Chains A and B, each alone.
Chain A
Amino acid sequence: MNVLDVEDVSASHNGVLAINKISFHVAEGDLLGIVGPNGAGKTTLFRAILGLQNYQGKIKLFGYEGSQYTSLLPMVGYVPQKVNFEQNFPATVYDVIEMGLLPKKKLRRGADLIQRCGCSWNRIFGESSKDSEKIERVLEIVGLEHLRDRRISELSGGEQQRTFIASALVKEPVLLILDEPVTGVDMEVQNKFYSVLRRINKENRISIVWASHDLNAISDHATKVACMNRDLFFHGEKEEFFSNKDLLKTYSESAMQMHMHNHSHEV
């Protein structure tokens, strides 16, 4: 059973067709890197999966649609490209991570659904962990223990991004969706981030979908690759993608352009 199935999904953004009949799947333990230029529809695709966007086609979580899909959705962790929160919002790093915690009832319902389809929920923490212990653990995972009582607005962009990742992890997600998570973050933090990503993917078997322009990072860290620019052009093993010279040429060119345009018009 796949964690996520996307079947013939089309969606518009501001009246323009942003994704066209896209189909792919995420199997348990996948670390899928999605490449595509700005405006390729990556964010629209993510928003459709997350129930924030209307679409045509089918999207399934563990084979479920409809109300069962909605019940499982809270177990998906999402880190958008940029979180627009009110400057000076009086919330500490701890507060923000705490927001990611799900009520026990929702977790139980989600876990039931996952079990019913014969899959397992790979948990990061022990089953009897208290909420406060979970928060401490994710603080450790993203390396922000020392900043736990600082206000989120006082943090640098990279630290904020790590806070949001921690907030997405604290619910022990069955699927983690990251939309260009390290845009505008320095190399050192990027490397730290990628090692966290690999660790939770390998050790905790959390399936991850991750949009990026950085082909080097994709080649280093992803297990599978998908390329899209409104349509899906490729979905498969990483090795297959990197041995396909035509694809690689197209996407490395667009990746180069990305760097020059400084990631400004993402849809």
Chain B
Amino acid sequence: MPADFLAYGFMQRALITGIAAAICCAMVGLYLVLKRYSLFGDALSHMAFGGIALGYFLNVYPIWTATAVSVSAAMGITKLRKSTRISGDAAIAVMLSAGLGMGVILVSASHGFTIDLFSFLFGSVLLTNLTDTISFLGISGGIIAVLLALRKPLLHFTFDEEQAKINGVPVEKLNYLFIGLAAVTVIITMRLVGILLISALIVLPNITSIMMGKSFRKTMAISVSLSVAATTSGIILSYPLNLAPSGCIVMILVAMYVGTLLARRAGIFSGKPLLREMQAGAREKS
């Protein structure tokens, strides 16, 4: 049978962790994209790399050190941004290079352990062991539960922060909680696509679904479906073709995005796109 490889334990673990990460990433990503924090995931993943290196260095389960480092870095940067008013992109650049720098130092300082840099950079979902699978499932279940429970205040806060504040949404607390959730999401997604490709999973399914869905709920549902479809098919395709799964997943997402873009140009999703664009243009001018 051509799909015999699906019976392998590593393949099943890869699919399970992949799907869990894909769901979390799509959900968190929608808020990130709409808040113009698209690259935040990238910065967080570089921080997490530093955290993982620290874990290896201290001989602690690296997922925990990665969580600790990237959550505290995310909180720190959010606070720093508020108090010193440095711009968002500068804050991201600081985090990104600090995390990577720390990781590289720790890796080079500890000649004792062999750390496979390549698998951190580009993912190693096929190497997921049972401990990882179980902890990833638990973590992503938690993330999804919190996101669902807070979907109303989160949506309001993302759409219009001031109005949310007037309505009694604890905006600041919610912001910190959300940033924390994003940091943890990035950690479980790192295994899937690696620190360099994480933005793809945060951004691509969401900018694609924003073109398709009208309401917020539908947009999120579409985004989660696309993300899961791309992850599953990417992992499955990569094995017989002997390609890197992370690259396959990302390129499938890119194809989905481009395909949707072309379909929209052709008027499939929004009726008469040209007419609408002209109207929008006229409105902006007036």
Residues in A lying within 8 Å of B, measured CB to CB = 50-52, 70-71, 73-74, 76, 78, 80, 83-86, 88-92, 94-96, 98-100, 102, 106, 149-151, 154, 156-157, 167, 171
Contacts and interface: CB of A to CB of B under 8 A. Distances in A.
Nearest to A72: B168
B160 A83 contact: yes
Contacts of A83: 160, 163
B214 interface: yes
B159 interface: yes
Contact of A52 (B162, B214, B280): B162
Contacts of A171: 167
When A and B form their complex, which 4 residue pairs have the shortest distance between CB atoms, in order from nearest?
A90-B219, A74-B168, A99-B156, A92-B215
17 contacts: A51-B165, A52-B162, A52-B165, A52-B166, A70-B168, A78-B166, A83-B160, A85-B160, A86-B35, A86-B36, A90-B216, A90-B219, A92-B214, A99-B152, A149-B214, A154-B276, A157-B283
B155 A74 contact: no
B210 interface: yes
Nearest to A156: B283
Nearest to A101: B152
B211 to A, nearest CB: 8
Given A86-B34, A99-B156, A157-B283, A151 B214 contact: yes
Nearest to A153: B280
Contacts of B213: 90
Interface SS of chain B: helix
A37 B36 CA distance: 34
Given A90-B210, A150-B214, A74 B159 contact: no
A106 B215 CA distance: 26
A89 B214 contact: no
Contacts of B152: 98-99
Contacts of B159: 85-86, 89, 91, 96, 99
Contact of A100 (B34, B165, B167, B283): B167
Contact of B166 (A76, A88, A98): A76
A90 B215 contact: yes
Contact of B155 (A99, A149, A167): A99
Contacts of A71: 168
Interface string B232-263: 00000000000000000000000000000000
Nearest to B220: A90
B36 A90 contact: no
A88 B214 CA distance: 10
A150 to B, nearest CB: 7
A50 B166 contact: yes
A77 to B, nearest CB: 9
Interface string B24-38: 000000000011100
Given A86-B36, A100-B167, 13 more contacts: A52-B165, A71-B168, A83-B163, A85-B159, A86-B34, A90-B213, A90-B218, A91-B216, A92-B215, A95-B217, A99-B155, A99-B159, A149-B215
A95 B162 contact: no
B162 to A, nearest CB: 6
A90 B214 contact: yes
Given A86-B36, A88-B210, A156-B283, A74 B167 contact: yes
Contacts of B210: 88, 90
Interface in B195-219: 209-210, 213-219
Contacts of B167: 74, 99-100, 102, 171
Contacts of B35: 86
Interface in B265-284: 276, 280, 283
B215 A91 contact: yes
Indicate the member of B155, B214, B283 with the most A CB atoms within 10 Å: B214
Indicate the member of B155, B160, B165, B217 with the most A CB atoms within 10 Å: B160
Nearest to A86: B34
B168 A91 contact: no
Indicate the member of A50, A91, A102 with the most B CB atoms within 10 Å: A91
Contact of A78 (B36, B163, B215): B163
A2 B217 CA distance: 41
Contacts of A94: 215
A12 to B, nearest CB: 18
Nearest to A167: B163
A43 to B, nearest CB: 12
Contacts of A154: 276, 280
Interface string B156-189: 1001101111111000000000000000000000
A86 B165 CA distance: 18
B24 to A, nearest CB: 19
Contacts of A73: 166, 168
Contacts of A80: 162
B166 A74 contact: yes
B276 A89 contact: no
